[in-house]
Amino acid sequence: MRRDTGAVLINALVIVLAISTIAAALLTRAELARKHGTDAQAGHQLALYLDGIELLMPALLESTTDGSAVHRGQPWARAGLSYPIDRGQVAASIDDLQGRLNVNWLMRDDPYVQDVFAQVFSQLHVPQSLLTAITDYLDSGGSGVTGSYLSRDPPVLPRGGPLALVDELREVDGMTPDLFAILQPVLAALPMNSRINLNTAPDILLQAVLAPLPAEVVGEVLNRETAIQSMSELRQRTVEILETEDIDDLPFDRMTVNSNWFVADLTATLDGLRQRRRAVFFIDVTSGTPINLIYRWAVYD
């Protein structure tokens, strides 16, 4: 009798334990489902917040549409744009892509472009071998480097043409996350006919871009306190210093004081979660809608 009673108690305990285990598993699954649902809802809300702050960007870029010189004293260049929202905040910054070197220039067989990039890479302590690898990656022939890319796991096909995004350079042989972090702020992927804005480019780029000009002109540009209003102003100063109007061999066709390409870096946070987005805008003053969103993409830290 006692043995039967003991067996019954053991069976009961086993059943209770099984039920408890099942209940705990169901509760865990329910909690995970609830968390996933909450995260999905928060993710959707963050995307809406990014949409909202993206709509503010054209207003900040309005000052670039009147045909005057573009410079960092204008509203678009204000740093630290941040706005509080319910349980978080949104933030934005805009940069002039024409204040960077256009990596697609490397597709041209142009000694001036190669010298500019070589000087910038040297100043940034980036190996010259990486510059060669980038040039090969863009080469429309590309046959000389294809093998090393196809042997990867998974295989990669060299671009063999102009880049749409600088992020594509992550695939280049020899590129590391650290090297990309150094290069990303000074490079852009723009149409081949773009020019670098002397008012918005950093000194490390200006020194390389302006190198063929007289030293006096270079020094005046680097030390200026106000924006250059027109390229004719710079040309005339060069003519005065060189005492000749024969300056067609100087690379003025690579320079400008205006800009058409801008990138907005947008961030939204909500209850500790964060989403980032970048959006590229093109300014076309001949269009009925001069400020145009060209593309956007998510950024993952």
Q: What CATH number does the domain containing 133 carry?
A: 1.10.40.60
Quick one: 7 exposed, middle or buried, by C-beta within 10 A (0-12, 13-18, 19+)? exposed
Residue 10 has pLDDT above 80, yes or no: no
What pLDDT, on the 0 to 100 scale, is given for residue 14?
66
Instruction: Give the integer Cα–Cα distance in Å for 211 and 228.
Output: 18
184 CB-near residues (< 8 Å, 6+ apart) = 166, 167
Domain boundary among 239, 255, 271: 255
Q: What angle do CA 67, 280, 256 make, to 5 degrees?
A: 35
Are 246 and 108 within one domain?
yes
What pLDDT, on the 0 to 100 scale, is given for residue 140?
63
Are 135 and 208 within one domain?
yes
What pLDDT, on the 0 to 100 scale, is given for residue 151?
77
Are 238 and 116 within one domain?
yes
Residue 133 has pLDDT above 70, yes or no: yes
Strand, coil or helix: 108: coil
Are 184 and 277 within one domain?
no
Residue 120 has pLDDT above 70, yes or no: yes
What pLDDT, on the 0 to 100 scale, is given for residue 7?
66
Are 133 and 171 within one domain?
yes
> Helices marked H in the chain — which ranges?
2-54, 57-61, 111-123, 128-138, 146-150, 177-183, 203-209, 215-222, 231-242
Quick one: 164 exposed, middle or buried, by C-beta within 10 A (0-12, 13-18, 19+)? middle
Q: Which of 88, 101, 93 lies closest to 42, judged by CA? A: 88
Higher pLDDT, 26 or 38: 26
Quick one: 20 exposed, middle or buried, by C-beta within 10 A (0-12, 13-18, 19+)? exposed
Are 192 and 204 within one domain?
yes
**Helix, strand, coil percentages in the chain from 3-state DSSP, rounded to 5:** 50, 15, 35
pLDDT tens digits along 138-159 = 986 555 567 778 777 787 777 7
In a domain, 292, yes or no: yes
pLDDT tens digits along 72-88 = 999 999 877 898 988 89
Which region among 87-101, 129-143, 203-217 has the lowest average model confidence (pLDDT)? Answer: 129-143
Average pLDDT, the chain: 88
Which region among 40-49, 54-63, 256-265 has the lowest average model confidence (pLDDT)? Answer: 40-49
Higher pLDDT, 36 or 251: 251
Are 160 and 90 within one domain?
no
Q: Find tokens 């863009």 and name the residue.
A: 138
291 DSSP β-pair partners = 283
pLDDT tens digits along 158-177 = 778 899 999 999 999 999 99
Determine the structural domain holding residue 180 and report its residue range. 101-255
Give the pLDDT band (50/70/90) at residue 277: very high
28, 31, 209, 294 from 279: Cα distances, Å: 39, 36, 27, 8
The structure tokens listed for 143 are 């046959």
